Amino acid sequence: MNSASVLVIGGGIGGLTAAIALRQKGFAVDVIEKDPDWAVYGVGILQQANVVRAMAQLGLFEDYVGAGFGFDAVEIFAPTGQHMATIKSPRVIENYPPNIGIGRRALHKVLGDRTIAAGAKVRLGITAERLDDDGAGVTVTFSDGTTGRYDLVVGADGLYSKTRTQIFPDAPKPEFTGQAVWRYNFARPPEIVNLHNYVGQRGIGLAPLSQTLMYMFLTTPEPGNPRFERKGLAAAMQARLADPPPALAPLVTQITDDAEVVYKPLEWLFLEGAWHKGRVVLLGDAVHATTPHLGQGAGMAIEDSVVLADELARAASPEQAFLAYRERRFARCKFLVEASRSVCYSQLGTGPHVDHAQVTREMLALTAQPI
Ligand SMILES: Cc1cc2nc3c(=O)[nH]c(=O)nc-3n(C[C@H](O)[C@H](O)[C@H](O)COP(=O)(O)OP(=O)(O)OC[C@H]3O[C@@H](n4cnc5c(N)ncnc54)[C@H](O)[C@@H]3O)c2cc1C
């Protein structure tokens, strides 16, 4: 099937890694992205060794690690600021950093540049209005009125995937957890070389992203899922950091630019049923969106891409490939969504107590397994 034509819907982490993986196997790939500016917000993302391994499989190891910051451990602090433990991360693969912090824009540039260099065609400001699958192929009607004919369609259009709604109108909708994350970038001081985690009901983290940059994330209960105007976001984040651990107090006063605060309600979604219909298949957040408590959401999208391309390259039919893809991904993604969510509910006090460190160890053991 390697000569098949594939439309990838969504130019985010999942869609771009899918495009790269499919081009590696020889497929003809078009990508459509609804955002005409192809913009990504400016804070960072944390990933573990399984993601570094998947990026290496995609031939992206040097670009990816070079654009980020490799680190070895998580430093745990009490809410008062007292240092409690250093948890060393296992090295899954010799000479690979066990963790990477990377700016989302830096990651997007690595993936976007490689997608284009690999020969995928990217069209911006376009969505797929109709997908007509007649069994032999899919005729796609685009939002600019043009049409295209593809052998396969990959829906990598995120948590609120329109592709998912088109093929599974009755699929569950994303569910808000009751918790949200506030994030802000700072200049990285030399001592922040690992992830610093201040545990408690109000979780605070400081993560290195590059030689010069780090970011802070702050998780807070936000009952009722309030919406915030951009104006006033910095003050709202500062207010939630009242009485901070002493080491963080100077940073809190630097949170002044409303435009640089990234606020996200935490939602999750997992499709228990089929992940494809006919010649259309889902990938990444479109099929399994997790809260970030184990830092594996984007990692799962990247691993999906490697596995999907692998199965498509060796299967005799799309049906065979899509079933094998789901089979290889289902248990791992389900565990990560459920375990991340259980940490979230434990922090909120809306679920049983969960030992975050123990769940993290389980996550590391699971994700160290080959995909
Ligand atoms: C607060 C927070 C922190 C996180 N931290 C981490 C972390 O530290 N580590 C980690 O691994 N993961 C993390 N994640 C998860 C990670 O961001 C997602 O899992 C990942 O972005 C999923 O990639 P995706 O490509 O599936 O979806 P997205 O990144 O959402 O990309 C979807 C793309 O599709 C486009 N699109 C949407 N609709 C359409 C349409 N109809 N047509 C065309 N294009 C469309 C969008 O514009 C977007 O570019 C975090 C998530 C949150 C919310």
**Residue 43 DSSP symbol:** S
Whole-model pTM?
Answer: 0.97
Tell me if 301 CB under 6 Å of ligand 1: yes
Cα–ligand 1 centroid distance for 158 (angstroms): 5
Tell me if 31 CB under 6 Å of ligand 1: no
Pocket test for ligand 1, best of 32, 45, 179 (most atoms within 8 A of CB): 45
Cα–ligand 1 centroid distance for 246 (angstroms): 33
Cα–ligand 1 centroid distance for 80 (angstroms): 33
CA dihedral 106, 107, 108, 111 (to 10 degrees): 130
Distance (Å, whole) CA 102 – CA 47: 8
Position 188 scores a pLDDT of 96
Cα–ligand 1 centroid distance for 13 (angstroms): 6
If you average pLDDT over residues 182-211, what whole number do you get?
93
Position 10 scores a pLDDT of 98
What confidence tier does 88 reach under pLDDT thresholds 50, 70, 90? confident
Residue ranges in the chain assigned as alpha helix (H):
13-24, 49-57, 61-67, 104-117, 162-167, 233-240, 249-252, 297-314, 318-348, 356-368
Tell me if 157 CB under 6 Å of ligand 1: yes
Residue type, 321: A
Distance (Å, whole) CA 8 – CA 169: 20
Q: How far is CA 357 from CA 74, 334, 342, in A?
A: 10, 19, 13
Token digits for 336? 């990560």
Position 24 scores a pLDDT of 97
Tell me if 11 CB under 6 Å of ligand 1: yes
CA dihedral 111, 32, 329, 335 (to 10 degrees): 80
Q: Which atom of ligand 1 is nearest to the CA of 302?
A: 23
Distance (Å, whole) CA 45 – CA 207: 9
Distance (Å, whole) CA 279 – CA 148: 14
Instruction: Burial-class residue 105 by CB neighbours within 10 Å (0-12, 13-18, 19+).
Output: middle
Tell me if 47 CB under 6 Å of ligand 1: yes
Tokens 């295209």 locate to: 148
Per-residue pLDDT of 279-307, as tens digits, reads 999 999 999 999 999 999 999 999 999 99
Tell me if 299 CB under 6 Å of ligand 1: yes
Q: How far is CA 166 from CA 160, 169, 286, in A?
A: 11, 6, 12
Q: For residues 318 and 1, is the Cβ–Cβ distance under 8 A?
A: yes
Distance (Å, whole) CA 38 – CA 59: 23
If you average pLDDT over residues 144-159, what whole number do you get?
98
Q: Which atom of ligand 1 is nearest to the CA of 128?
A: 42
What confidence tier does 172 reach under pLDDT thresholds 50, 70, 90? very high
Mean pLDDT of the chain: 95
Per-residue pLDDT of 104-135, as tens digits, reads 999 999 999 999 999 999 999 999 999 999 99
Pocket test for ligand 1, best of 40, 41, 164, 285 (most atoms within 8 A of CB): 285
Q: DSSP string covering 108-175, please? A: HHHHHHHHHHTT-EEEES--EEEEEE-SS-EEEEETTS-EEEESEEEE---TT-HHHHHH-TTSPPPE
Cα–ligand 1 centroid distance for 165 (angstroms): 17
Q: Which atom of ligand 1 is nearest to the CA of 13?
A: 25
Q: Which atom of ligand 1 is nearest to the CA of 207?
A: 8
Tell me if 203 CB under 6 Å of ligand 1: no
Cα–ligand 1 centroid distance for 123 (angstroms): 18
Tell me if 178 CB under 6 Å of ligand 1: no
- What is the number of helices (H) and of strands (E) in the chain? 10, 20
Per-residue pLDDT of 292-350, as tens digits, reads 999 999 999 999 999 999 999 999 999 999 999 999 999 999 999 999 999 999 999 99
